[in-house]
């Protein structure tokens, strides 16, 4: 034949059998968005129940199932797959490679996910209902969990396999398939952030697998890892879980750092400030993530020396995180700014993630944390870093690269509308949670004392607006995919954005960079 | 620099007074309680210190961002500068946060060490978490009882009006003396719970099979309320804690009464 420029297969088999990084990226992103809507729907029911004191809508058990499933779906189903979707679409196009290094494994890593989440979600319909012990599934509460817990364990194993394979693919692609002349230090910062993320994934997903396996044998095979009566230790579970869990938190934020660091230079028309220190900061944050896990456990009772160690190590994270924020601010300083939707979301990220960073520093201080721990202050904190952090960066990235992917500009007016609705309603939802927590409202409760009623009502109203706003995002994307809008140019954005992806056509051919870009092109675009 | 600091101070005072006026107008509590123990005071002070520091940093960073957003618009003819690194400033904004952290670490370390020092306690109360109520045992006093939530199902279902301390009332509160170093020994019978009374500055996980410690010296007579702070199953949200602090004299009388009551019960059952 000799014709390498073939297009995609037709029909369903295109998606089932695809080994194309763009198709797989698209699958990941759609899967993540569907899971985002499902997890969001659970959150809406939670906020409806909390709209006023008393028990109105769902039983306390259902409430616990909702908080558990909301957390699991958002962490493993929405945020992580969305970033993997970006990695698939972008890393080959950014490093000048024809595809991911291991395309067939790539297909498998994606197609595990729908089954994993089908198993997880089917637990709603099982005897005893869905898992109800929080996404952190602390033992021994989870040891005594409903029968569906074993299905939850299976689905976590599947997610872990998927994540590890995805991570291997990213590392192999970045190490072996960069275009000639693209040294690691010239590689786009999004690829850097994902490279580090991939190492974190490979390091900690097996730990999560160990935690769920120990839980499985405790539940079914008579072991007592987490049962004091059999010589085990319930707190051991928390150590293992958070040894996974804290790096996991950075797995969900490092790619966000990468996306924002790609977007800000384009719309400030400046180079990213302190690129090298940005990379070092990512590496430092990733390194520190392994020695701070017990800051999630300050109330479990640990030796003073251990407490001091984890407190100091946690406080230390503020330094590289601060460097990143200052560098972004310096990138914006004396630029030539325009405010397209990706820029708005990136700026929203910088502002609101910083607030999450502030509360993070507060939470690091053990004496104060004794009062913050397991209250709505913590809920506020991690939604500032995960929603206005990770999720806003995903929105920013989606708007930024969508015209490249589809060849059509999204509706800018609606995009801006989506940003302002999201940003304002996000703050209405989550800022009052700081107050609720400080005033003494524990998290994960279906009902509360009367003094918390006003803030909860405000928060619920904000959340409904936030939830509905995301349907607007769905509409905007579909319109762009259907080609309803201005034709995007190859560079998409004014004033020559950097990055090899902008040297391709919009939309790009099904196979790109079958011959690597020239060293000259790489040099011009780094 | 001096001017900037003054500006930060002014902003903090402004925001603070705005919030407190809103709060006093509506009766809303929006900040951490200062509490009634030396530990809770220290926690509150640390909280306010770090809050002040992050607010000041926030004003500076957000100030620069907002300034840049309005000042350097391409639509207003801004031309992008070409600088993209400066070792000096990068070192400065690595070192300064580090120094701030060291300043913060001092009171945090002191308070933590004090919080963990349960020596020289004058009495010990064993607190045990159950699904879903508490058990208190006064060691050496032969007094022990269960403390059950007192909010009624009708209140929860909204069939009758909710009382003022809805979800924060129990049938039998923990009674303790003021100005006495009370050591708490925490454990649990089934799953992990957490005993939290904000005004006492005590939050500790109660873990089945293990004993955790904490302590409090309550400086004011009063009733202090809290809740379970670790997800412990279906009725985790319905596990309130009430501590009633009375003077040591009243407490002695209370202890005698409890023991007397107990003896009467024993006599009755023997008779």
DSSP string, A149-172: HHHHHHHHHHHHHHHHHHHHHHHH
Confidence of residue A2 (pLDDT cuts 50, 70, 90): very low
Contact at CB, A451 and B29, closer than 8 angstroms: yes
What pLDDT score does A8 carry?
Answer: 86
Residue A181 backbone zone (phi > 0: left; psi -120 to 50: alpha; other: beta): left
H-helix or E-strand containing B16? helix B2-26
Q: Is the pLDDT of residue B216 over 90?
A: yes
Give me the count of residues in chain A. 526
How far, in Å, CA of A512 to CA of A503, rounded? 11
A330-334, A367-371, A520-524, range with the lowest pLDDT: A520-524
What pLDDT score does A526 carry?
Answer: 82
For residue A64, the chain B residues in CB contact (below 8 A) are 231, 233-234, 236
Q: Is the pLDDT of residue B2 over 90?
A: no
Q: How many CB atoms lie within 10 A of CB B22?
A: 11
Which of B199, B207, B232 is closest to B127 using CA atoms?
B207
> In a 3-state reduction of DSSP, which class is residue A205?
helix
Q: Is the pLDDT of residue A463 over 60?
A: yes
Beta bridge partners of B146: B135
Q: Which two tokens stand for residue B63?
A: 């100030």
Q: Is the CB of residue A54 less than 8 Å away from at least one CB of chain B?
A: yes
Q: Is the CB of residue B62 less than 8 Å away from at least one CB of chain A?
A: yes
Read off the DSSP letter of residue B81.
-
> In a 3-state reduction of DSSP, which class is residue B217?
strand
Confidence of residue B1 (pLDDT cuts 50, 70, 90): very low
Contact at CB, A61 and B234, closer than 8 angstroms: yes
For residue A335, the chain B residues in CB contact (below 8 A) are 68, 72, 78, 80-81
Asked if A513 and A96 touch (Cβ cutoff 8 Å), the reply is: yes
What pLDDT score does A9 carry?
Answer: 84
Interface test with B, best of A362, A365, A381, A439 (most B CBs within 10 A): A365
How far, in Å, CA of A217 to CA of A224, rounded? 8
Sign, CA torsion A501/A506/A507/A511: negative
Please report the ipTM that was assigned to this predicted complex.
Answer: 0.95
Q: How many CB atoms lie within 10 A of CB B14?
A: 10
Q: Is the CB of residue A304 less than 8 Å away from at least one CB of chain B?
A: yes
Q: Is the pLDDT of residue B32 over 80?
A: yes
Q: Is the CB of residue B235 less than 8 Å away from at least one CB of chain A?
A: yes
Confidence of residue A369 (pLDDT cuts 50, 70, 90): very high
For residue B97, the chain A residues in CB contact (below 8 A) are 318-319, 322
Share of chain B above pLDDT 90, in %: 83
**Residue of A304, A329, A351 with shortest CB distance to B113:** A304
What pLDDT score does B28 carry?
Answer: 74
Q: pLDDT by residue (tens digit) across A413-432?
A: 999 999 999 999 999 999 99
Sign, CA torsion A120/A125/A127/A130: positive
Contact at CB, A140 and B190, closer than 8 angstroms: yes
What is the average pLDDT score of chain A?
96
Contact at CB, A228 and B192, closer than 8 angstroms: no
Q: Is the CB of residue B88 less than 8 Å away from at least one CB of chain A?
A: no
Asked if A150 and A93 touch (Cβ cutoff 8 Å), the reply is: no
How far, in Å, CA of A250 to CA of A196, rounded? 10
How far, in Å, CA of B168 to CA of A23, rounded? 54
Interface test with A, best of B18, B84, B225 (most A CBs within 10 A): B84
Q: How many CB atoms lie within 10 A of CB A382?
A: 18
CATH code of the domain made up of A23-524:
1.20.210.10
The predicted model scores a pTM of: 0.94
Contact at CB, B80 and A311, closer than 8 angstroms: no
A5-9, A308-312, A346-350, range with the lowest pLDDT: A5-9
- How far is residue A331 from each of residues A33, A341, A493, measured CA to CA in Å? 30, 18, 18
| A–B CB contacts, 8 A cutoff, strictly below | 280
Residue with tokens 């670490």: B105
What pLDDT score does B140 carry?
Answer: 84
Burial status of residue A146 (CB atoms within 10 A of its CB: 0-12, 13-18, 19 or more): buried
The CA-CA-CA angle for residues B229, B232, B238, to 5°, reads 70
Contact at CB, A347 and B65, closer than 8 angstroms: yes
Which of A147, A132, A125 is closest to A69 using CA atoms?
A132
Asked if A18 and A24 touch (Cβ cutoff 8 Å), the reply is: yes
Residue B133 backbone zone (phi > 0: left; psi -120 to 50: alpha; other: beta): beta
> How would you list the strands of the sheet with B123-130, edge to edge?
B143-147, B133-138, B123-130, B181-188, B212-217
What pLDDT score does A87 carry?
Answer: 98
What pLDDT score does A387 carry?
Answer: 98
Catalytic residues of A: 70, 99, 135, 162-163, 246, 248, 250, 261, 295-296, 321, 324, 443
Q: What b/e sequence results for A399-410 when a residue is b if at least 16 CB atoms lie within 10 Å of its CB, and e otherwise? A: bbbbbbbbbbbb
**Residue of A138, A361, A440 with shortest CB distance to B192:** A138
How far, in Å, CA of A94 to CA of A518, rounded? 13
Q: Is the pLDDT of residue B23 over 60?
A: no
Pairing of strands B193-197, B202-206: antiparallel
Q: Is the pLDDT of residue A139 over 80?
A: yes
Q: Which two tokens stand for residue B267?
A: 């006599």
Q: Is the pLDDT of residue A149 over 60?
A: yes
Q: pLDDT by residue (tens digit) across B103-152?
A: 999 999 999 999 999 999 999 999 999 999 999 999 988 999 999 999 99
Q: What share of chain B is helix, strand, coil (3-state, %, to 5)?
A: 45, 25, 30
Residue with tokens 């390091």: A203
Q: Which two tokens stand for residue A152?
A: 């939850």
How far, in Å, CA of A189 to CA of A476, rounded? 28
Asked if B206 and B135 touch (Cβ cutoff 8 Å), the reply is: no
How far, in Å, CA of B190 to CA of A518, rounded? 66
For residue A365, the chain B residues in CB contact (below 8 A) are 46, 50, 104, 108
A6-15, A59-68, A204-213, range with the lowest pLDDT: A6-15
Q: Which two tokens stand for residue A218?
A: 């405790």
Q: Is the CB of residue A336 less than 8 Å away from at least one CB of chain B?
A: yes
Task: Please give the distance of CA A272 from its chain centroid, rounded to a whole number.
Answer: 23
Scanning B102-161 for CB atoms below 8 A from A yields 104-105, 108-109, 111-113, 115-116, 155-158
Nearest CA in chain B to A375: B229
Report phi then psi at A465, rounded to 5: -65, -45
Residue with tokens 């019960």: B265
Read off the DSSP letter of residue A388.
I
What pLDDT score does A140 carry?
Answer: 95
Q: pLDDT by residue (tens digit) across A477-515?
A: 999 999 999 999 999 999 999 999 999 999 999 999 999
Q: Which two tokens stand for residue B214?
A: 């904490």
């Amino acid at each position: 034949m000799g014709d390498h420029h073939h297009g995609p297969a037709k029909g369903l088999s295109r998606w089932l059998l695809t080994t194309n990084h763009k198709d797989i990226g698209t699958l990941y992103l759609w899967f993540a968005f569907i899971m985002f809507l499902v997890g969001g729907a659970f959150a809406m029911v939670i906020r409806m129940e909390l709209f006023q004191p008393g028990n109105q809508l769902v039983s306390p058990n259902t409430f616990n199932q909702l908080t558990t499933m909301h957390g699991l779906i958002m962490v493993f189903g929405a945020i992580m797959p969305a970033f993997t979707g970006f990695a698939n679409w972008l890393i080959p196009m950014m490093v000048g490679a024809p595809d991911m290094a291991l395309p067939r494994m790539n297909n498998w890593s994606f197609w595990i996910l729908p089954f994993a989440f089908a198993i997880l979600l089917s637990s709603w319909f099982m005897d005893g209902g869905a898992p109800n012990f929080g996404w952190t599934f602390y033992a021994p509460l989870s040891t005594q969990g409903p029968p569906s817990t074993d299905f939850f364990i299976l689905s976590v194993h599947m997610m872990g396999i998927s994540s590890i394979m995805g991570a291997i693919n990213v590392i192999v692609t970045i190490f072996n398939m960069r275009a000639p002349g693209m040294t690691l230090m010239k590689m786009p910062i999004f690829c850097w952030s994902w490279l580090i993320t991939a190492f974190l994934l490979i390091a900690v997903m097996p730990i999560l697998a160990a935690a769920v396996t120990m839980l499985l044998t405790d539940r079914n095979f008579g072991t007592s890892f987490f049962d004091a009566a059999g010589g085990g230790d319930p707190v051991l579970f928390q150590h293992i879980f958070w040894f996974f869990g804290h790096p996991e938190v950075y797995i969900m934020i490092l790619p966000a750092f990468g996306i924002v660091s790609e977007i800000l230079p384009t719309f400030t028309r400046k180079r990213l400030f302190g690129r090298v220190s940005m990379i070092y900061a990512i590496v430092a944050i990733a390194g520190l993530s392994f020695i701070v896990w017990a800051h999630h456990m300050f109330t479990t009772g640990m030796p003073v020396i251990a407490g001091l160690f984890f407190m100091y190590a946690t406080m230390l994270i503020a330094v590289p995180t601060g460097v990143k924020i200052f560098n972004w601010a310096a990138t914006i300083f004396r630029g030539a700014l325009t405010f397209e939707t990706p820029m708005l979301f990136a700026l929203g990220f910088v502002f609101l993630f910083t607030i999450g960073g502030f509360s993070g520093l507060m939470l690091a201080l053990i004496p104060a944390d004794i009062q913050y721990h397991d209250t709505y202050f913590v809920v506020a904190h991690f939604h500032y870093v995960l929603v206005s952090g990770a999720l806003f960066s995903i929105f920013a990235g989606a708007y930024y690269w969508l015209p490249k992917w589809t060849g059509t500009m999204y509706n800018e007016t609606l995009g801006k509308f989506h940003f302002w609705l999201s940003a304002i309603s996000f703050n209405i939802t989550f800022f009052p949670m700081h107050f609720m927590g400080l005033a003494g409202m524990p998290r994960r409760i279906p009902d509360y004392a009367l003094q918390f009623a006003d803030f909860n009502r405000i928060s619920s109203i904000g959340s409904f607006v936030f939830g509905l706003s995301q349907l607007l995002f769905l509409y905007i994307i579909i319109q762009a995919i259907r080609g309803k809008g201005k034709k995007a140019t190859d560079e998409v954005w004014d004033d020559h954005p950097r990055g090899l992806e902008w040297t391709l056509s919009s939309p790009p051919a099904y196979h790109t960079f079958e011959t690597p870009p020239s060293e000259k092109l790489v040099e011009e675009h780094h | 620099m001096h001017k900037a600091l003054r500006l930060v101070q002014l902003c903090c005072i402004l925001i603070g007074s705005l919030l407190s006026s809103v709060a006093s107008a509506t009766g809303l509590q929006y900040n951490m309680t200062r509490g009634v123990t030396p530990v809770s005071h220290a926690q509150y002070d640390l909280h306010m210190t770090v809050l002040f520091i992050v607010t000041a940093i926030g004003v500076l960073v957000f100030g620069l961002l907002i300034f840049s957003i309005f000042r350097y618009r391409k639509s207003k003819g801004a031309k992008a500068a070409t600088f993209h690194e400066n070792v000096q400033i990068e070192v400065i904004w690595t070192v300064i946060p580090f120094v701030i952290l060291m300043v913060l670490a001092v009171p945090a370390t002191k308070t933590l060490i004090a919080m963990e020092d349960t020596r020289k306690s004058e009495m010990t109360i064993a607190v045990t978490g159950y699904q879903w109520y508490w058990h208190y045992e006064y060691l050496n006093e032969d007094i022990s009882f269960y403390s059950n939530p007192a909010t009624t199902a009708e209140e929860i279902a909204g069939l009758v009006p909710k009382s003022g301390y809805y979800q924060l009332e129990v049938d039998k509160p923990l009674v303790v003396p003021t100005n006495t170093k009370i050591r708490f020994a925490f454990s649990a019978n089934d799953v992990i719970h957490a005993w939290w009374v904000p005004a006492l500055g005590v939050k500790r996980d109660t873990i089945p099979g293990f004993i955790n410690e904490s302590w409090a010296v309550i400086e004011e007579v009063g009733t202090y309320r809290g809740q379970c702070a670790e997800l412990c199953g279906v009725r985790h949200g319905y596990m309130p804690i009430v501590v009633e602090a009375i003077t040591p004299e009243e407490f002695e009388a209370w202890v005698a009464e409890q023991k007397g009551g107990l003896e009467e019960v024993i006599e009755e059952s023997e008779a």
